[in-house]
Chain A
Amino acid sequence: MIFQDYVFYALAAILLFAGLRVITARNPVHAALFLVLAFFTAAGIWLLLEAEFLAIALVLVYVGAVMVLFLFVVMMLDINLDKLREGFWNALPIALPIGLLMAAEMVMILGSKHFSPDMMSTPTPRPAGYSNTAELGRQLYTDYLLPFELASVVLLVAIVAAIALTLRERKDSKFIDPAEQVKVKRADRIRIVSMPSEKEIIPVTAEAVEEKKK
């Protein structure tokens, strides 16, 4: 094993641990912080794969922006943990065997029999001065222009959808449109109801009810 292997195994172990803690941590803030750790170690693994730009983007975008925002949201929301955990133990007897079964199936199919390192040709190291970022940019703006443009449309739709679903006029606004006020007609304010002339009503008393019952 060379030095990189040790680094890989260390990072992978931390990544797995962090991933597990994201779903098992009791406190949602801790869970979010473990997710940050998971992103960080994943970025480390990408560095090992010589994907420097992506690794830095992952740290900058996900750790720096998305997760911080997420932490704010988690801290502001009053999450009732007991309510979330309700039914966890009831569902466990069914969920655990299914989960284990699926994991076993994945191991069988994705194990070393199908995806061992010997089956893959060793990648040739890039020459010095090779720019990962430039290469990525070239691919993105030439061969993959269409998905790139589509991604921007998806983001636009996300903005439109978020605004369409959340923008509301203030209900307590006392604003009055003067033009509307001037245009008001008599018919808008009063309604004439035709009804038969009233007859004298004999009030119903307790005695009268008693008498009727007899």
Chain B
Amino acid sequence: MNAIQYDVMTALPEILVLCMAMFILLLDLFLKPSNRFLIYVLSQLTLLGAAVLTTVTHVPAVGYAFSGLFVDDPLADVLKLGVYLSTAVTLVYTRQYTALRGMFRGEFYALVLFSTLGMMIMISGQHFLTLYMGLELLSLCLYALVALDRDNANSTEAAMKYFVLGALASGMLLYGMSMLYGVTGSLNVSGVADALLSGAPDHGVLVLGLVFIVAGLAFKLGAAPFQMWVPDVYHGAPTAITMFIGSATKIAAFAMVIRLLVQAMFVLAVDWQGMLVIMAIMSMIVGNIAAIAQTNIKRMLAYSTISHIGFLLLGFLSASLNGYASATFYILSYVLMTLAGFGIILLLSRKGFEADRLEDLKGLNQRSPWYAFMMLIVMFSMAGIPPTLGFYAKFTVLQSALQAGFVALVVFAVLMALIGAFYYLRVVKYMYFDEPEDHSPIVAPVDMKLVLSINAIGLLILGMLPQRLMDVCAYAIIHSIQ
């Protein structure tokens, strides 16, 4: 029998994260509660180590490992760095919040690291099985994390809804994959692409499989009409977990869209373009109009996510490298904005108090002018007002859609963005023109204040100098997708 080569080197970051997650799980048993801080430090070091390994092993070429089930390309490296960064920032922001709510436990950090592993596998999956296993790993961790605040009825309900609907979506995804396998005889991303290129197998069955796959992906991304779970889960989950679901996991879902639709089924681009157009339109309508009626800021951000996903899908419409690069740029900037937005909510939360109503932001300018300004930047960025990052992200995505000839859709998207600006600016109005209802001081660790400030200022600086980030996205796409 031949010796089998596993290029373990390519999967070093994954192996590190897995080992450290298991180590933390064991270490937690032997640690005194007063020494739990060590677990937090170890988790951050793990993410840092994974980032270093990903950067060191980076080559500007596509490399396969594990019999072609795993791929290590520049796109994977860039997206993984995004995942590490957003997870690390999430951990910084949530340390105080979880400590005050009895969630500062070893399981929390182990589950976060396991879900990071799931996301890394989703990003690097080159086989339907690998992609699916990564997705399930991520989803299982998220269901548990949502329910981790066990005595909170809202969280439990959110976890239940998320679990049932998530299982349904996974089922749809698997069903679509089985159709594809039935027609092409391959489960490998490049194998499916080759089979589709070499001849036109049964088109009807292919499109049926495609419909199921797109529906499953849309659920994971939170695109309308598969968005029902998003507001409830965002609202019910502890804010720390909402932040995690809203940021890092979207990068992984985005990677899965690239792997499945762009790399495996590029031949069917005409078919999925039509589906994405409908989903983009519906997401922008539902997201922007329903957000106006919300009084809970977590729900509002949930609808804001839906509308952002609508914009993200515009990037895929052109089915060109340029479009994918702009979509990559959009997802990364969306994650940065979401992190800062939830960071402010976490900053204002105290023991026994969730700052999740819009009224809680009233008069923030009088309580703390600096953080009111930070929130102002975040809201401007989400609304897409120059010179923030959100403006440039929307601009590139719309530009790529325009080049592909979707003029009416672009006009519609701009109109929807205008409607969306209303509810973002309402937050600004609450902060600057209303009297504060609550005068308690804002207490937070120094590192959180520092990272939050850098995060929000970063939105402004990247908005003015977006070229570097755009170059990175373009580089990743060009060297990964043939």
Contact = CB atoms under 8 A, between A and B. Distances in A.
A160 B130 contact: no
A69 interface: no
Contacts of B141: 157, 161
Contact of B144 (A142, A145, A164, A168): A164
Interface in A59-94: none
Contacts of B129: 144, 147
Interface string B92-136: 000000000000010100110010010001000001011001101
B144 A146 contact: no
Interface stretch (A43-51, A108-116, A199-207): A108-116
Interface centre among A109, A146, A150, A153, by most chain B C-beta atoms within 10 angstroms, is A146
B204 A114 contact: yes
A163 B129 CA distance: 27
B172 to A, nearest CB: 12
B69 A146 contact: yes
B150 interface: yes
Contacts of B140: 154, 157-158, 161
A185 B130 CA distance: 58
Nearest to B121: A150
A153 B137 CA distance: 8
Interface residues of B, number: 35
A197 B49 CA distance: 65
Interface residues of A, number: 23
A143 interface: yes
Interface centre among B133, B147, B148, by most chain A C-beta atoms within 10 angstroms, is B133
B205 A114 contact: yes
A150 B130 contact: yes
A154 B136 contact: yes
B182 interface: yes
A146 B70 contact: yes
B435 interface: no
Interface centre among A142, A145, A150, A154, by most chain B C-beta atoms within 10 angstroms, is A150
Interface in A148-172: 150-151, 153-154, 156-158, 160-161, 163-165, 168
A142 B6 CA distance: 9
Given A147-B130, A153-B117, A154-B137, A160 B111 contact: yes
B148 A157 contact: no
Contacts of B110: 160
A209 to B, nearest CB: 37
Interface centre among A109, A143, A153, A168, by most chain B C-beta atoms within 10 angstroms, is A153
B6 A145 contact: yes
Given A142-B67, A153-B18, A115 B130 contact: no
B208 interface: yes
Contacts of B144: 157, 160-161, 164-165
21 contacts: A110-B208, A143-B67, A144-B129, A145-B66, A146-B66, A146-B69, A147-B69, A150-B134, A153-B18, A154-B133, A154-B136, A154-B137, A154-B140, A156-B22, A157-B111, A157-B137, A157-B140, A160-B107, A161-B144, A165-B148, A165-B150
Interface of B: 4, 6, 18, 22, 25, 66-67, 69-70, 105, 107, 110-111, 114, 117, 121, 127, 129-130, 133-134, 136-137, 140-141, 143-144, 147-148, 150, 182, 202, 204-205, 208
Would you list the 6 A-B pairs with minimal beta carbon distance, nearest first? A161-B144, A150-B133, A164-B107, A146-B66, A143-B67, A147-B129
